[in-house]
């Protein structure tokens, strides 16, 4: 409906100049029939001929959008004929010239059309002055004043209006384009933020599931093996498995809580944020792995220092994911975790020996190419660190995360 209304309005605006010019021609004939025109005008060019020339102008105006320069030239020519054949007194052709001037400056090469406009104004000025001077109807000063006023009225004023409205339309279009660009950028930012949140959520969910669930599986297998020979040890491992299951459930609830409202009055909000993973919790991580029956050694070299939150999370998650991968792909093999606080960087290394049940290194790499190794790599890049992963010569595996010292700053 808006498009149809707009089209109708445009058609009405396009038809307005020809209709007005035709009305002028009819009014000119009607005025001669009713009250009669001065002899100085009517005798130089017959009224029907003058009205017919104006009708030609009106018909030409129907094509002003298709060929604005050609229509402008024709309308000016007709107006010049009317001036020359009426002693410079008949100005009924000037209205069409005003409409054509406005149209010719709306589109196209502005410099070229200004030249056409100036040339037409000069023609009108000279033709009007010569015609009035030849008729000797007015004194010379009046002839000069009238000849100069005609181009101003027919060309300068319509041209000024055309430039004003054209500039206004361009400004409105520029503002509209800017608003559309801002909306597209805002939409792009929203989509990028959503994608980032989804990636982060997928990574966190994978870290939680990969670590705890693999530990639960390993613990359950160990308890099953010890059920007959060492029932007490089997029950101890099962208690650890139960605790891991509770921890996994709590972590999943906290993670899902991030998707809920941040409003503390919202009954569905999480209420308490989960603690930020940190390197000082690696010892607890190693103890948990040992309780599941894993063989894990932990060594800390240098003076421990607090890192930034992102660096702490990157280091902790790297150890967590590495131990989970070792439990899946090299069950029963010894693992070594080493944290080195060096002057220019912090190096976190997790390595494991080969296992009789281990998968080939290439197969393990393919398994973890999703959210495992890629998640560690993303965190390393986020803190400006470097992650190195790969098989060892003896068939084991080693992951090394190095975090430069300039990123090891605590959040203010």
CA–CA dist 38, 21 (Å, integer) = 22
The yes-or-no verdict on residue 260 having pLDDT over 80 is no
In 3D space, the residue among 75, 94, 68 whose CA is nearest the CA of residue 157 turns out to be: 94
Higher pLDDT, 4 or 244: 244
Residue 189 covered by a domain: no
Residue 93 covered by a domain: yes
- Tell me the three state secondary structure of residue 277: coil
Give me the CATH number covering residue 257: 3.30.565.10
pLDDT (average), residues 169-175: 88
Per the structure, the complete domain to which residue 70 belongs is given by 2-137
- What does the block give as tokens for 64? 């002003």
Domain count, the chain: 2
Angle between helices 282-291 and 309-329 (to 10 degrees): 20
CA–CA dist 394, 27 (Å, integer) = 108
Residue 37 covered by a domain: yes
The yes-or-no verdict on residue 245 having pLDDT over 80 is no
Residue 323 covered by a domain: yes
For residues 47 and 32, the answer to whether their CB atoms sit within 8 Å is: yes
Residue 169 covered by a domain: no
Torsion of CA 260, 261, 264, 267, to 10 degrees: -60
pLDDT band at 261 (very low <50, low <70, confident <90, very high): very low
% of the chain surpassing 90 pLDDT: 10
CA–CA dist 373, 363 (Å, integer) = 13
pLDDT (average), residues 365-389: 73
Residues 220, 130, single domain; the answer is: no
pLDDT band at 188 (very low <50, low <70, confident <90, very high): confident
Residue 181 covered by a domain: no
- Tell me the three state secondary structure of residue 247: helix
pLDDT band at 1 (very low <50, low <70, confident <90, very high): very low
* pLDDT value of residue 50: 84
Residues 394, 260, single domain; the answer is: yes
Q: Write the pLDDT tens digit of every residue in 20-77.
A: 888 887 887 777 677 665 554 544 677 888 888 889 988 888 888 888 888 999 999 9
The yes-or-no verdict on residue 270 having pLDDT over 50 is no
The yes-or-no verdict on residue 275 having pLDDT over 60 is no
* pLDDT value of residue 349: 95
Going by C-beta distance under 8 Å and a sequence separation of 6 or more, which residues neighbour residue 142?
Answer: none
Residues 232, 128, single domain; the answer is: no
The yes-or-no verdict on residue 174 having pLDDT over 60 is yes
* pLDDT value of residue 358: 47
Residues 99, 11, single domain; the answer is: yes
Residues 253, 375, single domain; the answer is: yes
* pLDDT value of residue 207: 66
pLDDT band at 297 (very low <50, low <70, confident <90, very high): very high
Q: Write the pLDDT tens digit of every residue in 333-374.
A: 899 999 999 988 999 999 998 876 545 444 444 344 445 777
Show the DSSP H helices in 227-339 as ranges: 231-257, 282-291, 309-329
The yes-or-no verdict on residue 411 having pLDDT over 60 is no
pLDDT (average), residues 170-190: 87
For residues 384 and 404, the answer to whether their CB atoms sit within 8 Å is: yes
Residues 111, 222, single domain; the answer is: no
What does pLDDT average to over the chain?
78
* pLDDT value of residue 282: 92
* pLDDT value of residue 242: 77
Residues 287, 368, single domain; the answer is: yes
* pLDDT value of residue 253: 63
Q: Write the pLDDT tens digit of every residue in 65-92.
A: 888 888 999 999 998 888 888 777 667 8
* Cα distances (Å, whole numbers) of residue 175 to 162, 168, 181: 20, 11, 10
Residues 249, 366, single domain; the answer is: yes
Residues 132, 209, single domain; the answer is: no
Residue 185 covered by a domain: no
Neighbours of 330 (CB within 10 A): 23
pLDDT (average), residues 308-317: 83
- Residue at which a domain ends, from 137, 159, 182: 137
Residues 232, 362, single domain; the answer is: yes
């Amino acid at each position: 409906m808006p498009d149809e209304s707009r089209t109708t309005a445009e058609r009405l605006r396009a038809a307005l100049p020809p209709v007005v010019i035709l009305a002028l021609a009819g009014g000119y004939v009607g005025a001669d029939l009713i009250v009669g025109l001065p002899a100085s005008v009517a005798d130089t060019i017959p009224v029907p001929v003058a009205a017919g020339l104006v009708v030609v102008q009106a018909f030409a105006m129907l094509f002003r959008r298709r060929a604005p320069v050609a229509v402008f030239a024709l309308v000016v020519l007709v107006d010049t004929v009317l001036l020359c054949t009426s002693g410079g007194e008949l100005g009924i052709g000037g209205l069409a010239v005003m409409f054509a001037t406005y149209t010719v400056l709306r589109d196209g090469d502005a410099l070229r059309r200004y030249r056409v406009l100036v040339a037409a104004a000069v023609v009108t000025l000279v033709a009007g002055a010569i015609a009035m001077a030849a008729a000797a109807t007015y004194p010379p000063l009046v002839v000069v004043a009238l000849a100069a006023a005609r181009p101003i009225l027919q060309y300068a004023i319509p041209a000024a209006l055309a430039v004003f409205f054209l500039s206004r339309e361009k400004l409105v279009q520029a503002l509209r384009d800017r608003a559309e660009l801002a909306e597209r950028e805002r939409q792009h930012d929203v989509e990028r933020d959503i994608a980032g949140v989804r990636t982060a959520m997928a990574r966190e969910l994978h870290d939680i599931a990969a670590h705890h669930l693999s530990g639960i599986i390993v613990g359950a297998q160990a308890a099953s093996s010890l059920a007959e020979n060492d029932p007490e040890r089997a029950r101890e491992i099962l208690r650890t498995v139960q605790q891991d299951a509770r921890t996994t459930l709590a972590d999943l609830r906290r993670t899902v809580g991030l998707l809920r409202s941040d409003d503390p009055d919202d009954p569905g909000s999480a209420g308490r944020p989960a603690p930020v993973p940190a390197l000082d919790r690696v010892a607890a991580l190693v103890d948990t792995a040992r309780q599941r029956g894993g063989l894990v050694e932990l060594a800390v070299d240098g003076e421990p220092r607090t890192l930034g939150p992102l660096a702490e999370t990157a280091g902790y998650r790297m150890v967590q994911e590495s131990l989970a991968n070792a439990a899946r792909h090299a069950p029963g093999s010894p693992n070594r975790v080493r944290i080195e606080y060096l002057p220019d960087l912090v190096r976190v290394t997790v390595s494991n020996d080969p296992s009789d049940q281990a998968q080939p290194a290439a197969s393990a790499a393919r398994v973890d190419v999703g959210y495992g190794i890629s998640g560690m790599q993303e965190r390393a890049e986020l803190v400006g660190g470097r992650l190195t992963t790969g098989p060892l010569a003896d068939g084991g595996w080693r992951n090394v995360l190095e975090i430069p010292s300039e990123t090891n700053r605590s959040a203010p």
